[in-house]
Structure 1
Amino acid sequence: MPQAAEGGHLAGTAAPAAEARPWGLALALLAGMGTLFFSSYGLANWLASQRAAVPYFHFAWERHIPFVPWSIVPYWSIDLLYGLSFFLWRTRAALLTHVKRLLAAQLISVACFIAFPLRFAFERPAAGGLPGQLFTLLGGFDKPFNQAPSLHISLLVILWVAYAMHARGGWRWLLHGWFALIGLSVLTTYQHHAVDVPTGWLVGWFCVFLFPFGAREDAAGPAARARTHRLSLRYAAGALAAAALAWLALPGSVLAALLLGWLALALGCVAAIYRRGLPALFQKRPDGGMPMAARWVLAPYQLGAFANLRWWTRRRPQASEIVPGIWVGRFPGAAELRRLGADAVLDLTAELPRLVPAAVAYRCVPVLDLTVPPPAQLDEAVSILDAWHGQGRKVLVCCALGYSRSALVAAAWLAVRAPGEPLALLRKGRPQVVLGADSVAALADFIGRRQAAQSSGGASHAGRNE
């Protein structure tokens, strides 16, 4: 079920009072997108019809799916919902984000239809009355091609998210029920086979993930990009390997091919995030939540990352107390927090959604794995930790393994609270920490900036006393 909000707010609903609704732009974009939809969709249909033989794929159990003539009504309704969706938005920026999602879904799907055409294999039974008329109208332009990924399902996801952002109360449940009927209708109208549904679903969520509402155009500095470039290449290589395995698995197991393709997409997205060096592209909020689009698209990567951190820390301390009330450890679940007695979590991961209960004080300062936080993030994390310690909270500072990102933050905090040898004190409490040259340099820079600020503050204070 799509979430009503993205990025912690209802995008497109908090417009500045001075900005008028972009009615004219919405109408122009609707006309352009409608023209593109029918022309590109028709082109893919025509190209498939020119082939001597177009393959098909379905599972044996699909022959037991009933043909439900009246379900053509919810099937057709997506066209009306598509058109109206252009007029939901109060701001130009929100409208353009929505259109980018629709356009991306169209381009990705049509490219697949042309490159790998499939056809529907069953003969549709005759239908009478209004359903029969709607089927006849549909058959005028929609031929039995353009199967996987189902563009109908991709658009369904994008529109579901859009309308859910604006629906309230009982209307939300009506909305979810109707959109669920639309999703089922692609099968009960004999328009698509089952394999088309998950592929269309994933394309839809990928488009939502690709264009989040309220996205900032920040860019990482050259130094940060240099650190993440090599990691990006590794993830890209993994994505290519998973895609190749998916292709090889296709003749033997469609399910295996789908799962491997999903993994390839997830790793490709992670490679792009590391290429830009921006942890914000994981879309993890300060409260640790992640939008549904990120969870769907990145699920194979996140499951792998979680399994990896549990494996590497299975025989080592999950968390270590550095000083009374301050632990450094791995990404926790609720049970681990209960064992520690911690009532606050400072999370340095960008890649994993929050697992701890809402009752625990929580703050995420997202940092890419195997990288060093920039000075602003390090300052922010230390300030949060210092405030919680001052309140008497028992704090767990965590990253994936509890060896690097969290260790650097703890060392920086120790440099403020216990000047002297913060790294020695940290390693005494948690010998497993791994702080490379970049981390040590970041710690030295943090200490230097703090000392400079204190010196400047002391000089200003002395000047005022003279």
Structure 2
Amino acid sequence: MTEGGRPWRRALLWLALLGPFFFLSYGFANAMAARLPFVPSIVFDWEARIPFQAWTIVPYWSIDLFYVASFFVCTQRAELDAHARRLLTAQLLSVACFLLWPLRFSLERPDTGGVFGWLFDVLLGFDKPFNQAPSLHIVLLVVLWVRFQQHLHGLWRTALHVWFALIGLSVLTTWQHHFIDVPTGVAVGWLCVWLWPLQGSSPLRHWQWPREPTRWRLAVLYLAGSAGCAALAWAVGGWAMWLAWPALSLLLVALAYAGLGIAVFQKQEDGRLSMAATWLLAPYLGAAWLNARWWTRRAPQPQLVIDGVWLGRLPDADATLTVATVVDVCAELPFRTRVRHYRSVPMLDLATPSPAALRQAADAIAHGRRRGEVLVCCALGYSRSAAAVATWLCRSGHTASADAAITLLAQDCPRIVLHARHRRAIEQAVREGAANGQTQVNA
């Protein structure tokens, strides 16, 4: 039910549920850690040189006000429910980490008097030196920042950024957390945002067991890479613990091939990846971009196939495109180039595209041809985009078979890589289109 255009009553219900749950679960994790005979710490030597700033207890405490207010800035029920799920997930994941991996803050905080001292005393009344990594403060900071910044503009948004930066710094300058708690908190925060997007459903709802052996092999390879990064981070320690970031990134990619599919990347209609996916997958995305540029360094420009349809790699952000339409079939890299018309039909790299996705891409090419020339692209322009163009060639009547389409493509684009599994997918896409009365797609 909404009142005055906002779901006030539902916001109150969520707050009444999550508020007590926050303190009960947080206190439970503290109590369990306090019962242990020894709780370790992960601390760098330089952390003792971080200046203690008593006044930063004010921004530290202020996150509680933002937490309460965040329910009431939501303008729609769907937005409120997604935000509440993020907060609930943040609490569940953080408390699970506190219980499975208890850590202790090891530095002795200086005595503080006055109002700031009183705020510290109130805080220490329920906040013991446990519950360290991930910093729940940082986890909530990410979730709350995403919620508030979408409703603020101009100077108000700038002020939000400045104040939230102070909140983030305060976990260190109040000597409440060690440094490792900050990046782990950021990771968990973005994971909560990624799990409950505002547009579309949760990636977990897209799980489908793949039947293709190639996807399972790729899932195992990425999982092995994730495990290797995690093992190295654990064994070496220190700054090598940053390898936990690529470990998480590769784990998510492994899940994409194991069943989550393109939902992992959360590619939007305008070609951008969601902010959460960009942060979580950044190590993989950087490596994927470098890999694509390396393999296409000798042939960076798209090639004309036939009838105004071009095939190539994802263009650079500053590229000047002369085509009217871009059909982008890359799932893992964002599209940032200016173009009059853009259509995204994301497909997983190295995996065999589904016949449904190929038909969708062929329809997008045909529709784009009515506006002018079309560029069909993926990361390299070798497989996914080539399969999409081959499907369009068959369905538009330019070629009579998948083999003929692949032969035509290879004449002008000799670097394409289409295996027997791609040919079967193209043939199935054409057959299913014909069965649905779509034998030809107008070029």
For normalisation by structure 2, the TM-score amounts to: 0.88
Letter in 2 for 1:253: G
Residue 284 of structure 1 aligns to a residue whose secondary structure is coil
2:267 to 284, 290, 293: 284
Shift of 1:107: 1.6
The question of whether the paired residues in 1 share the 8 Å contact of 2:264 and 2:277 is answered with: no
- In 2, Cα distance between equivalents of 1:230 and 1:160: 39
Equivalence map 1:61-460=2 (5 Å): 61-216=46-201, 225-227=210-212, 231-232=215-216, 234-236=218-220, 238-239=222-223, 241-243=225-227, 245-259=229-243, 261-276=244-259, 278-315=261-298, 319-323=302-306, 325-334=308-317, 337-338=319-320, 344-356=325-337, 358-359=338-339, 361-393=341-373, 395-415=374-394, 416=396, 418-420=398-400, 421-448=404-431, 453=437
Residues 1:83 and 1:220: Cα distance change in structure 2 (over 3 Å): closer
Letter in 1 for 2:102: P
The question of whether the paired residues in 2 share the 8 Å contact of 1:236 and 1:268 is answered with: no
Residues 1:18 and 1:126: Cα distance change in structure 2 (over 3 Å): closer
Residues 1:408 and 1:136: Cα distance change in structure 2 (over 3 Å): same
Residues 1:334 and 1:167: Cα distance change in structure 2 (over 3 Å): closer
Deviates more, 1:204-213 or 1:279-288: 279-288
Shift of 1:313: 3.5
Deviations 1:131-166 (A, max 9, x none): 111000001011111111111000000000011122
Deviations 1:6-43 (A, max 9, x none): xxxxxxxxxx9999643333223222222221122112
Shift of 1:120: 1.6
Deviations 1:363-410 (A, max 9, x none): 3211122334445533332233234334333x3311122221101121
- In 1, Cα distance between equivalents of 2:280 and 2:358: 29
- In 2, Cα distance between equivalents of 1:196 and 1:22: 34
Shift of 1:217: 7.1
- In 2, Cα distance between equivalents of 1:253 and 1:66: 25
Shift of 1:241: 4.7
Bigger relative contact order (CA 8 A; separation at least 6): 1
Residue 38 of structure 2 aligns to a residue whose secondary structure is coil
Q: How many residues align?
A: 435
Return 5+ residue gaps in structure 1 as ranges: 1-15, 458-466
Residue of structure 2 equivalent to 1:10? none
- In 1, Cα distance between equivalents of 2:145 and 2:246: 24
| Two-structure CA RMSD over aligned residues (Å) | 3.0
Residues 1:409 and 1:242: Cα distance change in structure 2 (over 3 Å): closer
Residue 281 of structure 2 aligns to a residue whose secondary structure is helix
Residues 1:308 and 1:456: Cα distance change in structure 2 (over 3 Å): closer
- In 2, Cα distance between equivalents of 1:247 and 1:107: 25
Residues 1:29 and 1:230: Cα distance change in structure 2 (over 3 Å): farther
Paired-residue identity, %: 48
